[in-house]
Amino acid sequence: MSTYIARRLLLLFPVLIGVSFLVFLIFHLTPGDPVRSMLGEAGQGISAEEIEQIRRQFGLDRPWYVQYFSFLLGALRGDFGSSFQTGRPVFTEVASRFPFTMRLAGVSLLIAALVGVPAGVAAALRPRRWLDLGVMGIVLVGVSMPVFWLGILLMQTFSLNLRWLPPAGSGTWRHMVLPSVTIAFASVAFIARMTRSSLIEHLGEDYVRTARSKGLRESIVVYRHALRGAMIPVLTTIGLQFGHLLGGAVVVETIFGLPGLGRLTVDAIQARDLPMIQGSVLWIAVVFNVVNLVVDVLYVAIDPRIRYR
Amino acid sequence: MWRRFSRHRGAVAGVVGVALLVILSLGAARISAYDPAVQDWTRRLESPGPDHPLGTDEFGRDVLTRILYGGRISLLAGIAPVVIGSITGIAIGLVAGFLGGRWDLFLMRAMDVLLAFPALFLALAIVGSLGPGLLNVMLAVALVSIPGYARVTRGQVLSVREREFVSAAVVSGAGVGRLMWHHVLPNVMTPLVVQSTLNIGYAILATASLSFLGLGTQPPTADWGTMLANARQYLPEAWWLAVFPGAMIMVSVLAVNLIGEGLRDALGR
């Protein structure tokens, strides 16, 4: 087990190096001069010499690999540079917005799992009957529904028309309901679909027939035996959904006016604030990889078959 | 295979849906008497009625007309990223799987790096670097899909490579290029067709999301994502601004997904 974790950690290294290089490139693939986009409007009347001086001041005249290493060293120390817009350190800004997005994604993941798994089980127990067809219909709608449309419809219905929940802002749990339901919807669909197909498959397996022929009660056969085996691919799906949920958070934060990392990133892109874009994307990528690592380790802990590979 | 596909009720509905979308958006100029960009300030925010079946927007533009023209953007957004992404990804998977060794290691580690970002954030990073705009958004969505194609192709290639007909071709003196193009590629395409179809739906959704965030199609071009973004300011009164463009996105993606699932069932995957 600990060897597995160590190996997994070791494999994470090259990936994170690659990630940091890609994020570094954001600054250098940008069309036009980053110094000019940093200066924005103020850069109109500035001479070429002055631009050159600013370039030196930020170390942009050095070879790219020197720049990359200083970027990497900075990032490791938590220094992502300063925002072009506010001049404040990117790290502080990103770190202050991140917990909100993480909480939003976490609550959504919980909702998605708590709704998706039972829905999938219910569908699998009576395949091709009305309940199954209903669940599968909702699943199909769920994977085709644009997140932002769902958010707008929910806001329209529950905030603006019925006035049950606040349409925007943050602070109380009531503010979290609509955003997290919006984000969770598509994941409910994916999780329900995976649970259904996995459980149907497992219900047809030999060990389930053995359990039945021993005369065990049907509920024990389903919940203790079949479901346990069936949950493994479902867990993978739940883990994979985390990335989708973070993506959903970007859109939902915009709709409901929430102060998260997604909104910060979108604003930074519109303002061409390159260090801020780099900082938030890098941060999210690191978190994403750590979460995937945790899911992988959990997976091994649950499924004894792959423990010693 | 076609018999099985045509008996799949969902898939047939999907084909009809996509056909309608193509006809309506390409024939927009013949179907609607209005221009999608011409403003009429005397008829702002009119609810659906005889003159404007789906109402008018905040500039008095006909919503139905803008939806029809916006369909062209969605068609483009569904097709272009999938074409770019699939060609690149399949080429990478083919080379990695067939040549193996260092090529495999380098290319697949590069794919791992792309997969190390949540998809939408990778797209945001690219749009953040290249700048907002529909073209850049489509490039970003294409790039995000590359590792998926590369992985599936590589897996297929690894199994096909060992088959007898490939050894036979090697023995008869076929070069590497010919082997990959004529012998391996045709035999790995089946799952990739399914994946590409399902990716069309994803590409439409992702492009519309980024346009909704103000990073894709720029006004005054009619686009379903940006129409929804503008609609937010006029809720709850002008509900028609939010309901119709969103429904169009959903129906289009649903239609494509139905085709994809029909293909998957028909091809036995």
Backbone angles phi, psi at A82, to 5 degrees: -115, 150
Beta carbons of B142 and B212 less than 8 angstroms apart:
no
Give the residue ranges of chain B where pLDDT is below 70: 269
Please give the Cα distance from B145 to B83 (Å, whole number): 10
Nearest 5°: phi and psi at A257?
60, 50
- Mean pLDDT over A164-191 rounds to 85
Kindly indicate the confidence band of residue A308, based on its pLDDT and cuts at 50, 70 and 90: low
Give the model confidence (pLDDT) of A228-244 as tens digits. 888 888 888 888 888 88
Predicted confidence at residue A37, as pLDDT, reads 67
Distance separating alpha carbons of residues B101 and B106, to the nearest angstrom: 9
- pLDDT top residue among A131 and A28: A131
How far is it between the farthest Cα atoms of chain B? 77
Residue A215 has a pLDDT of 84
Residues pairing with B56 in the sheet:
B62
When CB atoms are compared, the residue of B127, B130, B209 closest to A146 is B209
Cα–Cα distance, A175 to A181 (Å, whole number): 11
| DSSP for B60-82, written as a single string | S-BHHHHHHHHHHHHHHHHHHHH
User: How many A×B Cβ pairs under 8 Å?
Assistant: 152
Q: Please name which of B76, B84, B82 lies closest in space to residue B26, comparing C-alpha atoms.
A: B76
Q: B204: distance to nearest CA of chain A, Å?
A: 9
Q: How far is A253 from chain B (nearest CA, A)?
A: 10
Please, what is the average pLDDT of chain A?
85
pLDDT single digits (tens) A274-287: 889 999 999 999 99
Element (H, E) at B8: none
Nearest to B249 among A16, A22, A146 (CB): A146
The pTM for the full model equals 0.89
Q: Amino acid identity, residue B32?
A: S
Two structure tokens written together for B251 = 């129906």
Q: What is the pLDDT of residue A40?
A: 66
- Compute the nearest-CA separation of A216 from chain B (Å): 34
Which residue did the predictor score with more confidence, A122 or A174?
A: A122
Is A133 within 8 Å of chain B by CB? no
Position of tokens 């509900």? B239
Q: Which two tokens stand for residue B25?
A: 């958006």
CA A236 to chain centre: 14
* B258 contacts A288? CB cut-off 8 A: no
Query: What confidence category does residue A44 fall into, taking pLDDT thresholds of 50, 70 and 90?
Result: low
Mutation target for B interface from A37, A128, A143, A144: give the one with most B CBs within 10 A.
A144
- A283, β-bridge pairs: none
Q: Do the Cβ atoms of B125 and A18 come within 8 Å? A: no
Alpha carbon distance A93, B250 (integer Å): 35
CB-based contact A26 B129, cutoff 8 Å: yes
Vertex B249: Cα angle to B234 and B140 (nearest 5): 100
- Report the chain B residue with the minimal C-alpha distance to residue A17: B113
Which residue would you say has higher pLDDT here, A134 or A307? A134
How far is Cα A205 from Cα A195, in angstroms, rounded to an integer? 16
Kindly state the tokens that stand for B95: 């080379």
pLDDT for B33: 77
- Among B72, B85, B196, smallest CA distance to B141 is for B85
Tell me how far CA of residue B50 lies from CA of B31, B40, B53, B62, in angstroms.
15, 16, 6, 12
Q: Which residue of B has its CA nearest to A139?
A: B254
Three-class SS state of A89: strand
Contact B236, A160 (CB under 8 A): yes
| Chain B contact set for A22 (CB, 8 A) | 113-114, 117, 125
Bridge partners, B62 (sequence order): B56
10 Å CB burial of residue B85 (0-12, 13-18, 19+) is: buried
- Please tell me the predicted confidence (pLDDT) of residue B19: 93
Q: What are the phi and psi torsion angles at A89 (to 5°)?
A: -60, 135
Interface ipTM: 0.87
Domain count across chain B = 1
The torsion region of residue B268 among left (phi > 0), alpha (psi -120 to 50) and beta comes to left
Contact between residue B82 and residue B203 where contact means Cβ atoms under 8 Å apart:
yes
CA dihedral A79, A80, A84, A88 (to 10 degrees): -40
Q: What is the CA radius of gyration of chain B?
A: 22
Element at B214 (helix H, strand E): none
- How far is it, in rounded angstroms, from Cα B81 to Cα B129? 18
Distance CA B92, CA A184 (A): 34
Report the alpha-carbon angle B141-B142-B147, nearest 5.
105
> Which residue among A31, A160, A242 sits closest to B131, beta carbon to beta carbon?
A31
pLDDT for the residue numbered B3: 80
Domain span at B122:
2-267
First vs last Cα of chain B: how many Å apart?
12
Q: Among B211, B213, B244, B257, which would you mutate to test the A interface (most chain A Cβ atoms within 10 Å of its Cβ)? A: B213
Contact B121/A285, CB-based, under 8 Å?
yes
**Residue A166 forms contact with B (CB below 8 Å):** no
CATH number at residue B118: 1.10.3720.10
Q: CA-to-CA distance for A111 and A181, rounded, in angstroms? A: 7
Position A306 pLDDT exceeds 90: no
* Confidence band for A41, pLDDT divided at 50, 70 and 90: low
> Quick one: closest CA in A to B205, which residue?
A146
pLDDT at B269: 52
Whether B250 and A146 lie within 8 Å, measured CB to CB: yes
Tell me which chain B residue has its CA closest to the CA of residue A276.
Answer: B128
Percent share of chain A, pLDDT over 70: 94
Whether the per-residue pLDDT at A307 is higher than 60: the answer is no
Q: Which of A31, A147, A269 sits opposite B209 (nearest CB)?
A: A147
Question: What pLDDT, on a 0 to 100 scale, did the predictor assign at position B255?
Answer: 94
Are B228 and A152 within 8 A, CB to CB? Answer: yes
Q: Give the ranges where chain B is alpha helix by DSSP (H).
A: 2-7, 9-26, 28-31, 63-99, 101-115, 119-130, 134-161, 164-171, 176-178, 185-212, 224-231, 239-266
| CATH assignment, A93-302 | 1.10.3720.10
Beta bridge partners of A82: A89
Nearest to B113 among A19, A31, A140 (CB): A19
User: So what's the pLDDT on residue A43?
Assistant: 62
CB contact under 8 A, B257 and A254: no
Its sign, for the CA torsion A80, A81, A86, A92, is positive
Contact B232 A255 (CB under 8 A): yes
Looking at residue A286, its pLDDT comes to 92
> Which residue out of A138, A152, A256 would a mutagenesis test of the B interface target, given it has the greatest number of B Cβ atoms within 10 Å?
A152
Section A92-100 average pLDDT: 91
Picking from A36, A133, A148, A255 by the largest number of B CB atoms within 10 A of its own CB, the best residue to mutate is: A148
**C-alpha torsion sign, points B154, A247, A294, A304:** negative
Q: Which residue has the higher pLDDT, A40 or A63?
A: A63
The C-alpha of A12 sits at a distance from chain B's nearest C-alpha, in angstroms, of 10
By the 8 A CB rule, do A246 and A101 touch? yes
SS3 A168: coil
Residue A301 has pLDDT above 90, yes or no: no
